[in-house]
């Protein structure tokens, strides 16, 4: 049975909903079409999120990303469409999507779009390296 691109994003329950944890994904094979020239644009998408109740299922994400291959889209628009669709599917506490488009006409384009759940605040970062340098623990 051949696999085809689809815009349906599947989810699964967050296995640790009481903990804020970071999910990082790199998608190096994103393509869409330039709406001005029809030529392909290539990008690496970097998706970082802190889930709430749901996580994104990877195969459905792959097929969703693949669905843009023949779509005309400006870099700024497609980055925001993707962020909006994933946020609608899983309603994360936080999500950051960075689209790093490869050079076109001598210009690299990076588009960064962010979502924060209302009233969600990240906990302060812990710098373990700093802790290790200040302690008397032998390495």
Whether the CB-CB separation of 97 and 113 falls below 8 Å is answered with yes
Closest Cα to residue 117, out of 60, 49, 57?
49
Residue 38 has pLDDT above 60, yes or no: yes
Q: What is the pLDDT of residue 47?
A: 98
Which residues are catalytically annotated?
A: 34, 41
Question: 106 is written with which tokens?
Answer: 């001598």
Q: What is the pLDDT of residue 46?
A: 98
CATH code of domain 11-134: 3.30.1130.10
Q: What is the pLDDT of residue 3?
A: 76
Sketch the domain layout of the chain as residue ranges: 11-134
């Amino acid at each position: 049975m051949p696999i085809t691109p689809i815009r349906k994003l599947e989810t699964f329950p967050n296995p640790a909903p009481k903990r804020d944890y970071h999910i990082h994904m790199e998608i190096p094979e994103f393509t869409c079409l330039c709406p001005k020239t029809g030529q392909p644009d290539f990008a690496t998408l970097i998706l970082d999120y802190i889930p709430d109740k749901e996580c994104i299922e990877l195969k459905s994400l792959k097929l969703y990303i693949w669905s843009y291959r023949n779509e005309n889209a400006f870099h700024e628009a497609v980055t925001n469409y993707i962020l909006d669709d994933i946020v609608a599917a899983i309603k994360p506490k936080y999500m950051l999507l960075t689209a790093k488009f490869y050079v076109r006409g001598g210009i690299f384009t990076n588009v960064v779009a962010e979502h924060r759940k209302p009233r969600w605040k990240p906990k302060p970062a812990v710098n373990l390296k700093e802790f290790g340098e200040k302690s008397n623990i032998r390495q």
